[in-house]
Amino acid sequence: MTEQELISRLQKGDEQAYKLLVSLYQDKVFNTAVGLLQQHGDAEDIAQEVFIQVYRSVPQFKGAAALSTWIYRITVTKCLDHIRSKKRKKRFGFVMSIFGNNNQLVYEPADFHHPAVVLDKKEDAALLFKMIDGLPENQKTAFILNKLEDLGYREIAAIMQTTESAVDSLLQRARQNLKKSVSAKINNSS
């Protein structure tokens, strides 16, 4: 089935076409979400929200972009909205809740593991993902789409609604910032 046939069947409300769409894109949506959110539970929730929005919005889909680009764009937007929402909530008291009465840390962040990471590299991967999470939002998005989802500059530009040269610039700055983080970590360990 071609992409256009799939879209046509989706727009007619064909449940089998919707099941096919989910099976084709669920791993990509989840991996993108977990890469951006770094929480499996949140990524699962966002993935569900993405497919609900796709189901509701597909009748208005004009095909100006590839179906995959549209789905990635929805995924990235939902993830970034979720991150912003969490940051707002954090400002209202979370910092105080992580310390006990004696100013001792009582909250330990959960270990984070991305499905694409080999098990014997978990410790290094957790550190890398922590550094990636510290990147500015647009650099983080471009980096994850390029390095974890293996998307090219053109598709990333379409997803982020920017130019390929802007994507190149974002990736260069992300690499520079990650190098600085690694250097700082090495210098602090010595």
pLDDT in tens, 5-16: 999 999 999 999
Between CA 109 and CA 110, with CA 98 as vertex, the angle to 5 degrees is: 10
Domain 3-91+107-189, classified CATH 1.10.1740.10, yes or no: yes
Q: Tell me the average pLDDT of the chain.
A: 83
**E strand segments, the chain:** none
Query: Other C-beta atoms within 10 Å of 96: how many?
Result: 7
Angstrom distance (rounded) from CA 117 to CA 31: 11
Q: How far apart are CA 75 and CA 71, in angstroms?
A: 6
Contact 33, 47 (CB under 8 A): yes
The pLDDT > 70 percentage for the chain reads 79
Does the pLDDT at position 50 exceed 80?
A: yes
pLDDT, tens only, 99-125: 344 444 444 444 555 555 554 466 666
Strand ranges (E), 57-181: none
Q: What is the pLDDT of residues 141-165, one digit of tens each?
A: 999 999 888 899 999 999 999 999 9
Number of CB atoms found within 10 A of residue 65's CB: 16
42 burial level (CB within 10 Å; 0-12, 13-18, 19+)? middle
Residue 149 pLDDT = 86
Helix (H) / strand (E) containing 133? helix 122-133
pLDDT of res. 86: 78
DSSP assigned state of 149: S
Q: Delimit the domains of the chain by residue range.
A: 3-91+107-189
Query: Residue 127: which pLDDT band, with cuts at 50, 70 and 90?
Result: confident
